[in-house]
A and B are shown apart, each in its own frame.
Chain A
Amino acid sequence: MPKTTKTIVSIGTAVLISILGFYLRYKNHTLVPLPGESTDEYSYSWVGLSLIELGLPVSRSGLTGYGGNDYRYINVDRIFSTTAGGSPLEINQPWLDHPPLLSLITGGYAYLSGARVFEDATARVIRKPLLLFGVTTIILVGVLTYQLVGAAAALLAMALLATSPLVTVTSRMIQGENGVIAAFLASLIFLSSYLTKKKKIFLWLAALAAGVGLLFKVSGIAVAVCGAIILFSQENKKMALKFWETALFLTISLSFLALFFVYGAAFDWSTFVIVWQSNSTRPYDIGFGSLLDLLTTTKITVSKRLTEGWPLVGWISVFLLLAVEKRRKLFSFVVLPVLVYLIIFLLMGGSAYGWYRLPFIPFLFIAVAVILTEGVSSAEKLLPVVLTLIPLGMTVHKLSEAHRLAAIIPFWRYGLPAVIGWFLFVKRIRLNRFLYVALILAALAANVWLNLSLTPEFYLKIN
């Protein structure tokens, strides 16, 4: 195929994947996750709304640092008849739990949509901006993967992110991590461009993107740390140049964190300091239990799970990339972000909350895409086949809870060893490649089907 035609096909496929990703996120976005399942979603938006209307951030927190709460029943989306439980919400002012960027985006959108009181900020309104975040993230994953390995892996990484039911559900949630992800990917894309094209504008853009990440949530510090490590560990560069590049990058990115301090000081410095301390005295969850939990469970909230195989296969793929030497760029832009965020994740004691895990996902999926795409051209396909069968099996299992799939159980039971046996013993290159690609497409199709099956009723049933 000529190069131009290949480019057009690739871009066309990327556009179609992005549209599919948007559709899957849009469908049922007001109902799944259930409104009120995490009241953080309203909390973020109320901060934006109150900043616009009162000039003061007011919202739900309950952190001990505030020294007393104003208890209120704010029955937005009728959450007190469904998900919120019977306790009133702990309202605090000035609310300084997190930096205000996501609040201003969702609260600002709600205001522009006509919301004037907290009850107006319904899930139907405030989740809309997150749909765009979701699609942006799909595109950014495609761009970064393309820069690192090429078009095929980029398309697969995009397809995984677009169709993973866990991601489609969590990307609808108003959580700072969804903003951190977009900033993380954008910063790495610009850094990669800087390293290859040597144009200083990319260094500035990378630093600014890292700074924006910090305005979504303080855990966005991972973006700045990761970028600094990448810049400082460049090979074949003078130490002085590496030092000054890193200094510029950190000055710009961390200045955004300093803006959060200014924001806190403008409202109430002593409350800001106490809330900061309250946030940092959360349980220090660095035990093996939390790591095992991270690797083996896929959570949406604290207690709600949506079991899926792709993140597990992602962790395996990251370990595989870690083990392969001489792949410096993949290490710097896929493995290192995972490791840096893992440290932040463990230090922040975030293992209890599903949304704390979101920033891992794009990098896990890029790792999966790299390993599975290499499997297409590789003569030895057993490992990527097994890596595809794990999430396919788990998704089909979930589907069987929504639909009557008893008829296919024997096929799965006997087909699984047959497929593994086939790829173990039969070495017909073209046929194996065809079967392998068909298997990946089947896994993606199962993802889409499960997404389409995720009605509120089914979502409540599964775990």
Chain B
Amino acid sequence: MSCYTTNMSKEARVFLPQILWYSAIWLVVASALFLILRYRRSTLYSKEKYEALLTTVSDKRQKATDPCQFFIAGDPVNANGNFAKAIFYCDKQRKAVSTLDLSVLTTPDYRSMLEEVGRINGFSTEEIVKDGSWKCFDDQEQIFNFSDKIKLKSRVECFFNFTDGEIRTLYAENN
């Protein structure tokens, strides 16, 4: 050791101990960081908390007054055909079109699709899928069972306070 130190330059005698001390402290800090991160992950993480973090609608976000107030603009360009359109007709004048990438759904049925569009845009889909005040169609065929599997590239159209005649007229005009 004495031989080692006597061969060192003056600069090395000043700086080398500092570097070694710093490295030792760094090792302690890095080890502590590693262990703390591992411990926090093992105690805090759960699939439910992960889902809640991603999918809970913020209390601060303005709720939609009806399904036509907001919409998903643009198309999911990377969906490779795995998408569906949700079109809501809130009255004779107002409608909203949203296109949903179906890969976000765990259960690819009509209910899940409408609920996801409702969650994203901030409205409740309860009255659409349950109470009958809305009538929904997939490519002009009425949906009676919302648990049916949704077809790819579907046009799911939901009408509020429309008579069957008015819906037929609308489809005829659009065709």
Q: Which residues of A are interface residues toward B (Cβ below 8 A)? A: 49-50, 53-56, 58, 71-76, 78, 80-82, 84-88, 91, 93, 116-120, 122, 238, 240-241, 243-245, 247-248, 251-252, 255, 258-259, 262-263, 265-267
Q: In the complex, A238→B45 CA distance in Å?
A: 54
Q: Are B37 and A58 in contact, CB atoms less than 8 angstroms apart?
A: no
Q: Are A251 and B71 in contact, CB atoms less than 8 angstroms apart?
A: no
Q: Are B53 and A50 in contact, CB atoms less than 8 angstroms apart?
A: yes
Q: In the complex, A255→B20 CA distance in Å?
A: 12
Give a binary string over B18-56; 1 marks a CB under 8 Å from any A CB, 0 the rest: 110011001001100110011011111100011011111
Question: What would 5 A/B residue contacts be, using CB atoms closer than 8 Å?
Answer: A50-B53, A53-B49, A54-B44, A81-B70, A122-B60
Binds A, one of B97-105, B131-139, B148-156, B167-175: B97-105
A residues in contact with B26, CB < 8 Å: 255, 258-259
Q: In the complex, A120→B60 CA distance in Å?
A: 7
Q: Are B76 and A86 in contact, CB atoms less than 8 angstroms apart?
A: yes
Chain B CB within 10 A, most for which of A78, A85, A86, A88: A86
Q: Are B12 and A267 in contact, CB atoms less than 8 angstroms apart?
A: no
B residues in contact with A86, CB < 8 Å: 72-77, 99, 101
In chain B, what residue has the closest Cβ to A73?
A: B120
Q: In the complex, A55→B57 CA distance in Å?
A: 21
Q: A91: which of B19, B54, B76 is its contact (CB, 8 Å)?
A: B54
Q: In the complex, A120→B10 CA distance in Å?
A: 57
Asked if B157 is at the interface (CB within 8 A of a chain A CB), the reply is no
Q: Are A75 and B61 in contact, CB atoms less than 8 angstroms apart?
A: yes
Given contacts A73-B116, A87-B79, A255-B26, contact A54 B49 (CB under 8 A): yes
Q: Are B45 and A55 in contact, CB atoms less than 8 angstroms apart?
A: yes
How far does the Cβ of A370 sit from chain B's closest Cβ, in whole Å? Answer: 34
Asked if B93 is at the interface (CB within 8 A of a chain A CB), the reply is no
Total contacts A to B, CB within 8 angstroms? 141
Q: Are B104 and A247 in contact, CB atoms less than 8 angstroms apart?
A: no
Q: A247: which of B15, B53, B55 is its contact (CB, 8 Å)?
A: B15
Asked if B14 is at the interface (CB within 8 A of a chain A CB), the reply is yes
Q: Are B74 and A85 in contact, CB atoms less than 8 angstroms apart?
A: yes
Q: How large is the interface on B (under 10, 10 to 19, 20 to 34, 35 or more residues)?
A: 35 or more
Q: In the complex, A267→B54 CA distance in Å?
A: 20
Minimum-distance CB pairs A-B, first 3 = A86-B74, A55-B40, A119-B58
Q: In the complex, A50→B40 CA distance in Å?
A: 11
Given contacts A86-B76, A87-B101, A266-B34, contact A58 B18 (CB under 8 A): no
In chain A, what residue has the closest Cβ to B79?
A: A87
Give a binary string over B114-131; 1 marks a CB under 8 Å from any A CB, 0 the rest: 001001111000000000
Q: Are A75 and B120 in contact, CB atoms less than 8 angstroms apart?
A: yes
Q: In the complex, A72→B104 CA distance in Å?
A: 6
How far does the Cβ of B115 sit from chain A's closest Cβ, in whole Å? Answer: 12
Q: A88-B101, A117-B53 are in contact. List 11 more A-B contacts (CB 8 A).
A: A55-B42, A73-B116, A75-B121, A86-B77, A87-B78, A87-B101, A93-B50, A117-B52, A120-B59, A248-B15, A263-B37
Q: Are A251 and B34 in contact, CB atoms less than 8 angstroms apart?
A: no
A residues in contact with B30, CB < 8 Å: 258-259, 262
Asked if B7 is at the interface (CB within 8 A of a chain A CB), the reply is no
Q: Are B104 and A73 in contact, CB atoms less than 8 angstroms apart?
A: yes
Q: Are B15 and A244 in contact, CB atoms less than 8 angstroms apart?
A: yes
Q: In the complex, A50→B46 CA distance in Å?
A: 12
Q: Are B53 and A49 in contact, CB atoms less than 8 angstroms apart?
A: yes
A residues in contact with B37, CB < 8 Å: 55, 263, 266-267
Q: Are A247 and B77 in contact, CB atoms less than 8 angstroms apart?
A: no
Asked if B164 is at the interface (CB within 8 A of a chain A CB), the reply is no
B residues in contact with A116, CB < 8 Å: 56
Chain B CB within 10 A, most for which of A78, A120, A259: A78
Asked if B9 is at the interface (CB within 8 A of a chain A CB), the reply is yes
Q: In the complex, A71→B58 CA distance in Å?
A: 19
Q: Are A240 and B9 in contact, CB atoms less than 8 angstroms apart?
A: yes
How far does the Cβ of A112 sit from chain B's closest Cβ, in whole Å? Answer: 15
Given contacts A54-B44, A73-B72, A87-B79, contact A240 B101 (CB under 8 A): no
How far does the Cβ of B58 sit from chain A's closest Cβ, in whole Å? Answer: 4
Asked if B11 is at the interface (CB within 8 A of a chain A CB), the reply is yes
Q: In the complex, A117→B76 CA distance in Å?
A: 24
Given contacts A53-B49, A86-B99, contact A267 B72 (CB under 8 A): no
Q: Are A243 and B11 in contact, CB atoms less than 8 angstroms apart?
A: yes
In chain B, what residue has the closest Cβ to A259?
A: B30
How far does the Cβ of B22 sit from chain A's closest Cβ, in whole Å? Answer: 6
How far does the Cβ of B127 sit from chain A's closest Cβ, in whole Å? Answer: 21
B residues in contact with A54, CB < 8 Å: 41, 44-45, 49-50, 53
